[in-house]
Chains A and B, each alone.
Chain A
C-alpha cells in the first residue's frame, strides 16, 4: 500500500519568511495530492491540492509542486503570518485510499 513520509516534523520561521514542507510517496499510481491544515481542536481543512497531470499549482501565498518521477511533492508558503501556525498534513491517494503523512507543526513567530 501507499506510504507517505513528511519532513520536517516541526518548523519554526519568522513572520514574513517562507516555509517549505516536503513529502515523498511510494505508490507510483497515486494521482491526487492534497494538503491539509489542522488547527488545535479542529479537523483537517484542505488548503490546496494537485493532481498528477499538473506539476505546480498556486493559490495566493500557497503553492504546491509535484515531481512524479521522484515521487515527491512540496508545500510552499510565502510571506508567512502568525495565523499560518498550525499542523500541516500532506496526503497521497490513488482512488479513495488516501494516506496521510505524520504532519508538520509550523510555528510562525511574530
Chain B
C-alpha cells in the first residue's frame, strides 16, 4: 500500500513569491492534516480536513496561507506571498475516520516538503 505522497520534496523561492505544496493521502483516509515543522521542533497543526471540509483551520495564517481539498482526496497548501520566516518543512498526514467510541486513529505522515525562502 502506498503511503502519503507529497511533492515537491524541496522548494527554494525568493521572498514575496507564491508557492504550493501537494499531498495525496493514503487511499481511504478521509482525514487529512497539514503540519508545519520548524527546525528542531515538533510538527504544529495548520489545518485539518474531514473529507473536503476544513474542520480546524484555527492555526492557519489566513492572510497568506490557503488550502483546499476539493474532491476530498488530495490537497494543496499555498503560501502567497512567502516570507523568510516561512522556511520550514511542511508535512501532510492522513488518518482513517475517528473510531467509534471516540478513540483517535494513527496519523500517517508523508516525507514533507522542505521550503527555503531566500
Contact = CB atoms under 8 A, between A and B. Distances in A.
Contacts of A97: 45, 56
A50 B27 CA distance: 25
B106 A49 contact: yes
B25 interface: no
Contact of B111 (A36, A42, A49, A93): A42
Contacts of B102: 31, 95
Interface residues of B, number: 23
A104 to B, nearest CB: 10
A36 to B, nearest CB: 8
Interface of B: 4, 31, 40-45, 48, 56, 91, 93, 98, 102-104, 106-112
19 contacts: A4-B42, A31-B103, A32-B103, A32-B104, A34-B106, A41-B111, A43-B93, A43-B112, A45-B109, A46-B106, A91-B42, A95-B104, A96-B56, A96-B98, A97-B56, A98-B107, A100-B42, A102-B40, A103-B40
Interface of A: 4, 6, 31-32, 34, 36, 41-46, 49, 51, 89, 91, 93, 95-103
